[in-house]
Amino acid sequence: QTSRGIAWLAGGLGRVLTPPPAIAHEIESPDNSIPVEEPPFTPTDNEIPLPGEIDPNPVLPSVPRVARVVLDPGHGGRDPGAIGITGSYEKDVNLAISNKAAEMLKKAGMEVIMTRSDDRYVTVNSRVDIANAANAAIFVSIHSNSTTNSETNGTMLYYYVDHNILAAVAQASDREQLARIMQNSLVQSLQRADKGVRQNNYVVIRYTEIPAILVETAYLSNLTEEMLLNDYAFQDRAAQAITDGIIKYFSSKGIN
């Protein structure tokens, strides 16, 4: 895959290229070795890479020591993601929070690359390509959660560790550290239930060669949280919490 069809934003400058053709895909089977109490409803985030597209056993490069971030607003275009009780689209909430976070990060002096900056469909393989080509320090995929139980609420965060690849195991501590710092920042700011930090094998965090996390800010399937996710002030708080988490992680790694 190439990164065609993606909006790139770096240091406030961007360019938009022609969207790529749609790619047929199927849902990846969950990793039964990883207990997931309430998996989020994000079907297209489990797209299986086509053979030869992504090296299944990558040698992970050293993480760049530069404050460059890839933000990934989940879903988009013909893929709405989860749909809230009153009809809110996850893709719209994800984009709103991501765009706000991008502006905050830039004001803090960081470079930001986005997998999309408007309502367009981007395959998960292309998102991985962007992350791996960006020479960034971290990758943050931003989502809103959903489940069949409308009472379920809270903030959850995922990261991935492949215990079969030595290089990935060596990077695992960075991924977990980023995940825990970000979860703490979000829970403190949003004041929603702490659903914890968990491991999962979503493509966008599985095949990235840098520390990567997937954020589930709150539940669109919970009416109270759906209202919050559509509230500008709540979106600002979520974006600021993501920004603060990134700044804290970079500070711990001496990245500036």
Is the sign of the CA dihedral 227, 119, 243, 3 positive or negative?
A: positive
Q: Model confidence at 135, in pLDDT bands (50, 70, 90)?
A: very high
Give the pLDDT confidence score for residue 161 in this predicted structure: 85
Enter the DSSP assignment of 162: -
Which pLDDT belongs to residue 63?
52
What integer is the mean pLDDT of 193-218? Answer: 96
CA–CA dist 227, 163 (Å, integer): 39
Q: Residue 165's pLDDT is what?
A: 57
Q: What is the pLDDT of residue 164?
A: 64
The full set of domains in the chain, from first to last, is 7-12+65-253 (3.40.630.40)
95, 77 contact by CB (below 8 A): no
Which has the higher per-residue pLDDT, 183 or 15? 183
The percent helix, strand, coil of the chain (3-state, each to 5) is 35, 20, 45
Q: What pLDDT does 163 receive?
A: 65
**Burial level of 150, CB count in 10 A (0-12/13-18/19+)?**
middle
Average pLDDT taken over every residue of the chain: 82
Instruction: For the chain, give the percent of residues with pLDDT over 90.
Output: 69
At 173, is the pLDDT very low, low, confident or very high (cuts 50, 70, 90)? confident
In this predicted structure, the answer to whether residue 200 has a pLDDT above a threshold of 90 is: yes
pLDDT-based confidence at residue 38 (cuts at 50, 70, 90): very low
Average confidence (pLDDT) over 16-29: 35
Amino acid, single-letter form, for residue 212: A
Checking if the pLDDT of 33 tops 60, the result is: no
Q: Is 156 exposed, middle or buried (0-12, 13-18, 19+ CB in 10 A)?
A: buried
Average pLDDT over residues 170-197: 94
Average pLDDT estimate for 241-252: 98
pLDDT of residue 169: 61
Coil, strand or helix: which one is 242? helix
Give the model's pLDDT for residue 23.
33
Give which of 121, 147, 112 is closest to 37, Cα–Cα: 147
d(CA 143, CA 4): 22
What sign has the CA pseudo-torsion 221, 225, 227, 233? negative
pTM equals: 0.77
Query: For residue 4, what pLDDT is reported?
Result: 37
Residue 197's DSSP bridge partners are: 157
pLDDT (tens digit, 9 = 90+) per residue, 46-104? 443 433 444 555 554 555 568 999 999 999 999 999 999 999 999 999 999 999 999 99
